[in-house]
Amino acid sequence: MKRLKTILSYLLPVVIGLLVGIGVRQYFASASLIKGPSMKPNLHTSEVVGVFKTLPIHRNSVIIFDANGEDPQVKKTDYYVKRVIGLPGDTVSSYNGTIYVNNHPLNQDYISQRQRSTGTGNWNLQSLSSQWVRDRNSTKVPSGKYFVLGDHRSVSNDSRYWGFVDQSKVQGVVKTPPFNKNARQVNSASAELVK
């Protein structure tokens, strides 16, 4: 009996720790490994980021979402990392390197002028949506959805090509460790419209 108590005294804290860890990962926060160049220069391949499930999503927040069912080319669970440009109800357009949200220029100081102009293109939601499998003829971001772009616009596979991201697909808001040199560009989701 004494031996069983000794085993339980070691095992019980381990089991409780595992349950707490699983609960935190499931409902509050987890870590994710970045793959691919679509968020350069702010996120790089093999970089580890925090994913926070309870943080609110703002314009310019960086999110992780399951692209299965969003991007028609994805046939199984596959996670994309992109920046939220349009919130539900927003109108979004791009002209000569400036993105306009509800007719106001969006602050894009997290990417170079070259990515803003040559990488982003000239468009509005209606011109983009004429090519989408879903969300055809959209003029505004629908309720419960987001319009997202990668920071490396010239290589990013994003909402310009397949449409909106459903809120239910979002895994959380990305935050980088404070020692990361690009932490300001990723963590400052409050960057809003230039007025």
Active centre residues (catalytic)? 38, 82
The verdict on whether omega for the bond into residue 41 sits within 30 degrees of 0, i.e. cis, is yes
**CA nearest 91: which of 147, 135, 28, 49?**
147
Sign of torsion, CA 132 137 142 147? positive
Q: How far apart are CA 67 and CA 40, in angstroms?
A: 19
Cα-flanking dihedrals φ and ψ of residue 164, to 5°? -85, 160
For residue 180, the tally of other CB atoms under 10 A from its CB is 18
Cα-flanking dihedrals φ and ψ of residue 183, to 5°? -60, -35
